[in-house]
Structure 1
Amino acid sequence: MNTAEIHVEVAPELALFVAHARRVGVHPLAVDGVSTLGHVIESLGVPLTEVGALVVDGREVPVAHVPAQGERVTVRPVARPQRVPGAPLRFLLDVHLGTLARRLRLLGVDTAYESTDIGDPALAARSAAERRVLLSRDRGLLRRREIWAGAYVYSTGPDEQLRDILDRFAPELRPWTRCTACNGLLQEATKEQVADQLKGGTQKSYDVFARCAECGRAYWKGAHHQQLEAIVARALAEFA
């Protein structure tokens, strides 16, 4: 096995993934002459889901490129908006992103979510089977080869998480069309059709209802509607 030394520069947007000493500037890195550039980048801690162009000595190369002695590598972030070819844009979120899942559904974005921890292999398999973009803050999960597509969620705050995903993927927004509980599509419903889910005050105060075609959950403009309207209004103002 022949060792070689290359020089790697990681874009500032990806700096959080690498050791502090490598976050700024160009740094030497020993390679074995066999491993692909994709493997080398992952060994630095950067998930390939977050990598856009890989530029070697001024030319763009695939992740399968095997770096050679003296090459200078620039690792760029994914271009935005990111296009996911080959299937309608749909998401799958892991157990830690429940609030983000509900907000995406509120905006009418097709969003599957596992409310229990089913394990990384099952999540990756579902991403592949349903051709959904897997969203997670788990870097190890995003490195699994079987996922169809994935993206790291950079923030821990729901507001910032939502803005980041809308900015990165530019999904079509159709607010108030999906069930925030199960992702099913909503249909207009009469008061009589949802009467079994209404308490006395709701029966008297509201006349406009919707019902999920999948789980049957009823919806109306209740006490939290103003807060939800604000979330929708901000998203439409910036990303519609």
Structure 2
Amino acid sequence: MNGAEIHVEFAPELHLFVPQARRAGATRAAVDGVSTLGHVVESLGVPLTEVGTLTADGRPVPPAHIPAAGESVTVGPVERPQRVPGAPLRFLLDVHLGTLARRLRLLGVDTAYESTDIGDPALAARSAAERRVLLSRDRGLLRRRELWAGAFVYSTRPDDQLRDVLDRFAPELRPWTRCTACNGLLRPATKEEVADQLQHGTRRTYDVFAQCAQCGRAYWRGAHHEQLEAIVSEYAPGGRGELRD
């Protein structure tokens, strides 16, 4: 590698993003006196959504810092729990995270979800327009400048995904208050109000219902209630068991 260089060392939590050859220690990166440190870090494979502290020769610097030749840079992970300033904590999930979206909604977390692939520009624009933290496993999507905020989902397993998101952001949990289908808020409903959605056996067996104020979907303590109750009990042990469809 010719020309001006800096030395960059990544925290172990970020090694997932760094090619194997760079994991043993600091890697060298070319600098041009114009590009920001944030740009250099992303060019090495790490989305800025995953970066916490940056230091250059031992002093804290922002992503906008223009690195000088010979600097030694360390890149740390985001602190946990991560605070997202300026808006209520809300999420937007891409098309590949449907199970995670439903589980977050089950726990009462405001979670928008795109069930079809609307494209990276539209997802980033929605994140900015609605001030939602975009969750995705797409590193390219998380590098889009128009994002309001974002986070990489590290696992492919829904249980691990949920645990990681809750650990990272510590959102307020209000189980059984949101529709798992559309994210709308649930309200108590009478059997008569939801009768058109009930089969004969359900009408005969159940008396307590809720209904989504947005899409109208009915909920009750159905066959899957114990499975859902187990999820709520694990992550929100104080959550009072309510209704499911």
Root-mean-square deviation (CA), in Å?
A: 1.4
Structure 1 stretches of at least 4 aligned residues deviating more than 2 Å after TM superposition: 27-30
- In structure 2, give the amino acid aligned to 1:139: R
1:117-136 correspondence runs (5 A):
117-136=117-136
1:95 counterpart = 2:90: no
Residues 180-222 of structure 1: per-residue CA shift (max 9 Å, x gap): 0000000000111110000011111111100000000000010
Q: Which residue of 1 aligns with 2:216?
A: 216
Q: Which residue of 2 aligns with 1:4?
A: 4
The whole-number CA distance in structure 2 between the counterparts of 1:86 and 1:17 is: 28
Q: Which residue of 2 aligns with 1:53?
A: 53
Q: Which residue of 1 aligns with 2:243?
A: none
The whole-number CA distance in structure 2 between the counterparts of 1:27 and 1:98 is: 37
1:1-240 correspondence runs (5 A):
3-237=3-237
The whole-number CA distance in structure 2 between the counterparts of 1:142 and 1:49 is: 7
- The range that moved more, 117-126 or 17-26, is 17-26
- In structure 2, give the amino acid aligned to 1:192: E
- Say how many residue pairs are matched: 238
What TM-score results when the alignment is normalised by the length of structure 1?
Answer: 0.97
| Residue 29 of structure 1, CA deviation | 2.2
| Residue 24 of structure 1, CA deviation | 2.8
- In structure 2, give the amino acid aligned to 1:227: Q
Residues 79-106 of structure 1: per-residue CA shift (max 9 Å, x gap): 0000000000000000000000000000
Using a 3 Å threshold, how does the CA distance of structure 1 residues 104 and 59 change in structure 2: closer, same or farther?
A: same
- In structure 2, give the amino acid aligned to 1:148: W
- Partner SS state of residue 226, structure 1: helix
Identity of aligned residues (%): 81
| Residue 228 of structure 1, CA deviation | 0.3
What TM-score results when the alignment is normalised by the length of structure 2?
Answer: 0.95
| Residue 236 of structure 1, CA deviation | 1.5
Contact residue 135 and residue 150 of structure 2 kept, 8 A = yes
| Residue 238 of structure 1, CA deviation | 10
- Partner SS state of residue 116, structure 1: coil
